[in-house]
Amino acid sequence: MFEDGGDGRFARRPDLGGRSTVFGKGGAVACEHPDAALAGIRVLDAGGTAADACVAMAACMAVLSPMQTGMGGDAFLLFYEAETGSVIGANGSGRAPEAVTIDKLRERGLSEIPQHGGLPVTVPGGVRLWEDAASSLGNLPLARLLEPAWELAENGYPVAEVVARYWRESEDLLRESEAHVLLVEGRAPRAGEVFQQPDLAETIAAVAEGGADAFYTGEIARSLARAVQEAGGYLTEEDLAAHETVWVEPISTDYRGVRVFEIPPPGQGVAALEMLNILEGFDLGSLDPVGADRIHLEVEAKKLAFRDLHEEIGDPEFWFHAEIPTARLISKDYAETLRERISPEWASGRVPEPALGEDTTYLCAVDARGNGCSFINSLFKAFGSGVVAAGTGVCLHNRGISFNLREGHPNALEPRKRPMHTIIPGLATREGALWATFGVMGASMQPQGHAQLLSNLIDHHMSPQEAVDHPRHRHDGDTLLVENRVPAHEVERLRSKGHRIEVGEDYMIPTGGAQLIRVLEDGVRACGSDPRKDGCALAQ
């Protein structure tokens, strides 16, 4: 544990190894690929806002990491406006096709939505959000922001190491149909091998010239709809043309004087806030930051929050029986009742959870004027549905598998409904000033990661990079996955409390990839970027 010097700065390098926190006085970005981070910082150099930088980075990531994110996926953002001190949210997720119903799937002999093919494809909302973020929150034209992504797709780029690993795991899926364009002679590109995506470059160029309408209408939309229908799905050109970004009021809670913001349902940000409210009643700062007692409390809080998440959260536009109880779920009084259910000595039982996707990119930026943007973009599972629309280079996500087929459930499949969403950007303020932009990509890890990251910063006074590097844990179903850097005797203490433990590598991809920018009291930006990913933080 490191002592706070009073100004939020810490000296931990090089004695403990790892990366250094990146400091700057102007703009800053954090992203999981260096080329995307460089595009973001150049946008800030050109006078762009934090939102501009995030759009440029997100577009680059659609090229650089095509199994995690892309133009065929969804996106969300949180934006801190320095001039007013307000926090703005945007939901860039798409709806289920108008023609899809539970009965139609049951008639096809299905009890759940398949992972691949056309059926899990919902409208991809990310490209519309790119445009809306640039036009509403930015200074630069969309064409300027897409230029770095176009250059990467057209001219090629050396594949990064972690991305190459992801790519290799999906070779079999990509050998089918049009997805073969994402392979090199039938195999995944290797780390350091230059890969080009000329079809995707043409699609990016079309959006740069014609805006998001060039994606949601016209020839690109026809190709997307045709590809999905040929793969057995229901997406139409009309579904695509009707898509709009939804600007939302963020939800928030106070955690020890820090106001933490999340996107409201149908996202799982409500679970992150619920966890923080529960944990606020425990003195986490007095516990060993890699100890069994801390991990146990965080896991037990997660179980309680996720029970609510999977039973009560869905698209609020379609929950006609009653309003989704967001205010109650994130209230301090409700957290107090839940906290009483936690035994400090014994683990509670298994919480049923659906299998969720893993493939997402998170990135964030703070500009010289003090605006902050937290942005997340995803294909859900690796290469999403595996459906690539001919001539576009666009791989479509499979976000529809988040729906269930239980009629009357808040997250049951319905025409034009948005599924319960895993991807959540995070943002925090203190006394109205921007305190941090942050995110931890990785399906159900995301709310857990938000809580762990914030506790590292607030309870354990870690520097941004240390908070990102710190050993993380992930609970799914009845298994608690911990990194190998958690001491063996603490792992045994967790087992003695009743947890079913799996120990992985020192830095495990399943525990998520974090990016973080802290704004210190004097305005200095302090940034951390996850060594579990390929990226970096850069600052002016």
Whether residue 23 lies inside any domain: the answer is no
Whether residue 213 lies inside any domain: the answer is yes
**Per-residue model confidence as pLDDT tens digits over 177-186:** 678 899 999 9
pTM recorded for the entire structure: 0.95
Tokens linked to 508: 């495990």
Whether residue 141 lies inside any domain: the answer is yes
Q: How far is CA 223 from CA 63, 214, 219, 240, 354, in A?
A: 19, 12, 6, 11, 31
| Whether residues 317 and 233 fall in one domain | no
| Whether residues 349 and 475 fall in one domain | yes
Which of helix, strand or coil describes residue 27? coil
| Whether residues 65 and 206 fall in one domain | yes
| Whether residues 338 and 363 fall in one domain | no
| Whether residues 191 and 322 fall in one domain | no
| Whether residues 131 and 204 fall in one domain | yes
Whether residue 461 lies inside any domain: the answer is yes
Cα angle: 347, vertex 446, 148; to 5 degrees: 165
Q: Is the pLDDT of residue 157 over 60?
A: yes
Q: Which of 3-12, 204-213, 435-444 is the least confident region?
A: 3-12
| Whether residues 346 and 362 fall in one domain | no
Whether residue 19 lies inside any domain: the answer is no
- What's CA 203's distance to the chain center, in Å? 24
| Whether residues 220 and 123 fall in one domain | yes
Task: Give pLDDT, residue 13.
Answer: 63
- Active site residue ranges: 360
Rounded Cα distance, 489 and 291, in Å: 9
Q: Is the pLDDT of residue 322 over 80?
A: no
Closest C-alpha to 128, from 220, 190, 12:
220
Whether residue 279 lies inside any domain: the answer is yes
| Whether residues 280 and 133 fall in one domain | no
Helix (H) or strand (E) holding 450: helix 445-458
Q: Is the pLDDT of residue 44 over 70?
A: yes
Q: Which of 31-45, 162-176, 282-296, 320-334 is the least confident region?
A: 320-334
Task: Give pLDDT, residue 176.
Answer: 75
What confidence category does residue 324 fall into, taking pLDDT thresholds of 50, 70 and 90? confident
Task: Give pLDDT, residue 12.
Answer: 61
Q: Is the pLDDT of residue 5 over 50?
A: no
Task: Give pLDDT, residue 200.
Answer: 98
Work out the end-to-end distance of the chain between its first and last CA atoms, rounded to an integer number of angstroms.
29
Whether residue 133 lies inside any domain: the answer is yes
Which residue's structure tokens are 């190459």? 164
Task: Give the structural domain span for 280.
Answer: 274-356+440-524
**Per-residue model confidence as pLDDT tens digits over 431-490:** 999 999 999 988 889 999 999 999 999 999 999 999 999 999 999 989 999 999 999 999
Rounded Cα distance, 92 and 69, in Å: 13
Task: Give pLDDT, residue 3.
Answer: 38
Let me know: does 128 contact 441? Beta carbons within 8 Å.
Answer: no
Instruction: Work out how many domains the chain is built from and give that number.
Output: 2
| Whether residues 132 and 57 fall in one domain | yes
**Per-residue model confidence as pLDDT tens digits over 383-431:** 999 999 999 999 999 999 999 999 988 999 999 999 999 899 999 999 9
Whether residue 538 lies inside any domain: the answer is no
| Whether residues 301 and 444 fall in one domain | yes
What confidence category does residue 4 fall into, taking pLDDT thresholds of 50, 70 and 90? very low
Rounded Cα distance, 394 and 223, in Å: 10
Alpha-carbon Rg for the chain, nearest whole angstrom, is 22
| Whether residues 392 and 478 fall in one domain | no
Which of helix, strand or coil describes residue 189? coil
What confidence category does residue 19 fall into, taking pLDDT thresholds of 50, 70 and 90? confident
Task: Give pLDDT, residue 320.
Answer: 54
Q: Which amino acid is at 393?
A: G
